[in-house]
Amino acid sequence: MSATGAFAVTEYRDRTARAQAAMAEQGLAALLLTTEPDIRYFTGFLTRFWESPTRPWFLVVPATGKPVAVIPAIGAHLMAQGWLDDIRTWASPDYEDDGVSLLAEALADCVPAGGTLGVPQGRETHLRMPLASWAALQTALPDRHFGSDAYILRDLRMVKSPAEIARIETACAIAGRAFARLPEIARGGRPLDAVFRDFQRLCLDEGADWVPYLAGGAGPGGYGDVISPATDTPLAAGDVLMLDTGLVHAGYFCDFDRNLSVGPPTAEVARAHERLIEATRAGFDAARPGATASDVFRSMASVVGETGVGRLGHGLGMQLTEPPSLIPADDTVLTPGMVLTLEPGITLGPGRILVHEEDIVIRETGAAWLSPPADRMEVLET
Amino acid sequence: MSATGAFAVTEYRDRTARAQAAMAEQGLAALLLTTEPDIRYFTGFLTRFWESPTRPWFLVVPATGKPVAVIPAIGAHLMAQGWLDDIRTWASPDYEDDGVSLLAEALADCVPAGGTLGVPQGRETHLRMPLASWAALQTALPDRHFGSDAYILRDLRMVKSPAEIARIETACAIAGRAFARLPEIARGGRPLDAVFRDFQRLCLDEGADWVPYLAGGAGPGGYGDVISPATDTPLAAGDVLMLDTGLVHAGYFCDFDRNLSVGPPTAEVARAHERLIEATRAGFDAARPGATASDVFRSMASVVGETGVGRLGHGLGMQLTEPPSLIPADDTVLTPGMVLTLEPGITLGPGRILVHEEDIVIRETGAAWLSPPADRMEVLET
């Protein structure tokens, strides 16, 4: 890994070549990208500075040759350490023209009059620039067509390279070690917010670069949802504690959880947890090259049945959640290199759910675990 | 603070009333909001689940009455703990219609035919939904105008309430304590990435809920930029180490940094650091009600002079960086309740900059420190 966390240049060259082949098929003269993962995919540009929403960043992938970066000057030093040759900058924020003219020029260089540029605009995408700038850009280029990217980015990013999979695997291993240490910090009487804080410290201690995502819940015999912030309510005997982390290693996420019982679980909870493990294994078995995302959904849904909770898993990589979705409507065909979460859930009663999650990679021969699969419900001291 | 981290209901009622007064002035029948801070501003909906880009979330602020949430079902349990009455949900992701019809219905309820709805589309904004869904929404409502929000959201959010300021102050105090403990973890020979990791642990240890942002750098007599990820290069005598954190307490950021010298600083570095402190104080003195953002910029620029580095500060709150910008072009008039960072920088040579940052709040009588202001450069063991 380079000092900046980028992969070998061949990786970016290959990605660009694959994108350009797909662009040729779709009749696209260029791609215009605006989000962190899409830009990093072709450049290796890795920084937590995206946390600041102030400045827009642009990458243009032309029909041939290397991508062109059109970025705020504050990013020039870091971008120049990567493989790109053409890095155009402006002093952002510029209230008169925040990169729009510079971007229009770069696009005019790449897209002939009458040509079409592709912008991701389908499911799970957004345009990371002000709508007013987007309108100004289209006005500045009246004889270029602004079309969709025809899901080229989704299709490319959905299949991970060995180097990407290795990073996700490392992230999973870090989280696995942190989860194994949960009894150090979680027991009856400890407030949930203290457990959340301490668990993030364990993740860092075990090697996480940072912990962008931590969710969870705790409650008697189950929790109300999986997205609420932690309260200061102390854990109590009979609670099920769930922690779900998306920690990052070298720019790649893991995303899996653990359910623990404070004191011995009730028979109902123990049975539900067993079914979740069983559902996860069914998903694992179904997740083979040639199967679809909906096949994997159905394999898990058949175990959790009518009590199932929504989407039962998703892609994983530079983002915590990526395509595909394990839902009935997703007919994405699984291929080697895809990384998925298996995330079956069960509703036990009003305000009482249990959700389990593991991470897998699709190999030629079937699925392989990336997270260390849980086989039983750990019991915490009361 | 409620279990979900929300403020008292009166706070949301007041915000909504102020928005509605501004909407009436602008002739807007509703606001359509799609981003985390804009939605949280009116609802208190606080969750780290926004890390998942998969699902769109919508809030409609009508001309009178409470806002209407149009959100994925996964958020219903948490949103229902807030003050809203009208929460409409769908099972997202839905590949046929990911909330668009439901949103169109809600907008049709609020905006009469021929009426205009306002969407944030100016500087520092983006629309957090797929462009394809945005187009479908406009097609579904052909007799409604989709206009700008006339910077209503920016103007409202720029002035913080006492309850908001208290949270930012707590975040700053947490980071101040973590910075004070830096000598525990940073000294000559320690790799920068280990220092980054350990500093985040200190932040959590001192009470941060999480640490979304940490940037920094280290190098002999200065660093190359302020956005690069940490390398494993060990700190060495003569290095300047800078750490810049945006940690979060109850949904609100701090954003300030510290520069430390590994062993005694050179005269050049010591002098540069003194000038940065001097510039920060000049900014502090200039930051009074009635002054503009550009006045504060000029007061600091006059100290750092031609070696100044870009923008010299910005707003701060639910986001790491918010309007206004301390740049010559920003004529925002400062008013009590605004929270700003003062962030002067100096270029010492090629690839060698120093940036200092503190956080302040504007009071009736002038600025007050939120971060504990640094007055000298700490020296770390070599």
Average pLDDT value for residue range A106-114: 97
**What's residue B297's pLDDT?**
97
Nearest to A214 by CA among A153, A249, A173, A256: A256
Name the residue among A3, A132, A215 with its Cβ closest to that of B121: A132
Across the interface, do A125 and B131 touch by the CB < 8 Å criterion?
yes
Within 8 A of B318 by CB-CB distance, chain A residues are: none
Mean pLDDT of A66-76: 96
Contacts of B126 in chain A (CB under 8 A): 53, 126-131
Query: Quick one: pLDDT at residue B308?
Result: 65
CATH code: domain of residue B181: 3.90.230.10
Mean pLDDT computed over A82-107: 97
Number of domains in chain A: 2
| pLDDT tops 70 at residue A309 | no
**What's residue A229's pLDDT?**
87
In a domain, A128, yes or no: yes
Same domain membership, residue A328 and residue A206: yes
- Checking if the pLDDT of B1 tops 60, the result is no
Quickly tell me which residue has 């103007």 as its tokens: B155
Residue B90's domain comprises 9-156
CB contact under 8 A, A47 and B228: yes
Same domain, residue pair A209 and A139: no
Q: Distance of alpha carbon A205 from its chain centroid, rounded? A: 22
- Residue B3 located in a structural domain: no
Query: Mean pLDDT across chain A, nearest whole number?
Result: 96
Backbone angles phi, psi at B135, to 5 degrees: -65, -40
- In this prediction, residue B228 carries a pLDDT of 86
Task: Name the strand (E) or helix (H) holding B53.
Answer: none
A154 & A171 share domain: no
Position B79 in a domain: yes
Amino acid (one-letter) located at A24? A
Which of the listed residues A122, A138, A158 is the one where a domain comes to its end? Answer: A158
Does one domain contain both B253 and B290?
A: yes
CA distances from B298 to B232, B329, B373, B374 (A): 38, 11, 20, 21
Residue A154 pLDDT > 70? yes
| Cβ-Cβ contacts under 8 Å, B73 against chain A | 310
With beta carbons under 8 A apart, name residues in chain A contacting B93: 123-124, 311, 325, 327
Interface test with A, best of B7, B54, B242 (most A CBs within 10 A): B54
Residues in chain A with CB shorter than 8 Å from the CB of B49 are 215, 227
Task: Report pLDDT for A2.
Answer: 65
Quote the pLDDT of residue B47: 95
The pLDDT tens digits of the residues spanning B257-314 come to 999 999 999 999 999 999 999 999 999 999 999 999 999 999 999 999 876 668 999 9
Tell me, yes or no, whether B4 lies in a domain.
Answer: no
Closest CA to A133 of B121, B265, B236: B121
**Is the same domain home to A286 and A244?**
yes
- Banded pLDDT at A162 (limits 50, 70, 90): very high
Provide, rounded to the nearest whole percent, the portion of chain A with pLDDT above 70.
Answer: 98
Q: Rounded to a whole number, what is the distance in Å from the CA of A242 to chain B's nearest CA?
A: 15
Query: From the candidates B57, B197, B316, B331, which should be mutated to test the interface with A, based on the most A CB atoms within 10 A?
Result: B197
Q: Answer whether residue A1 shows pLDDT above 60.
A: no
| Range with lowest mean pLDDT among A145-159, A303-317, B23-37, B68-82 | A303-317
Distance CA B58, CA A126 (A): 14
In this prediction, residues A145-150 reach a mean pLDDT of 98
Model pLDDT, residue B226 = 85
* B223: in domain: yes
Last residue of some domain: A130, A158, A186?
Answer: A158
Predicted confidence (pLDDT) per residue in B46-57, tens digit: 999 999 999 999
Contacts of B225 in chain A (CB under 8 A): 74-75, 77-78
* Same domain as A133, residue A240: no
Residue B59 domain flag: yes
For residue A230, how far is the Cα from the chain centroid? 22
Specify whether the CB–CB gap between B45 and B80 falls below 8 A. no
Could you give the 3-state DSSP secondary structure of residue B177? Answer: helix
Say yes or no: A89 and A168 in one domain: no
Buried b or exposed e, range A137-171, using 16+ CB within 10 angstroms: beebbeebebebbbbbbbebbbbbeeebbebbbbb
> Of B309, B286, B139, whose CA–CA distance to B224 is shortest?
B309
Closest CB to B214 among A48, A127, A130:
A48
Judged by CB atoms closer than 8 Å, whether chains meet at A132 and B126 is answered as no
Helix B36-43 and helix B9-26, axial crossing angle in degrees, nearest 10: 110
Looking at residue A5, what is its pLDDT? 86
Q: Which of B103, B121, B156 is the last residue of a domain?
A: B156
CB-based contact B225 A77, cutoff 8 Å: yes
Task: Give the Cα separation of B276 and A51 in Å (integer).
Answer: 24
CB distance A73–B213 less than 8 Å? no
B265 contacts B379 by C-beta, under 8 angstroms:
yes
Q: Are A233 and A281 found together in one domain?
A: yes
> Number of Cβ pairs closer than 8 Å across A and B?
203
Nearest to B92 by CA among A244, A314, A350: A314
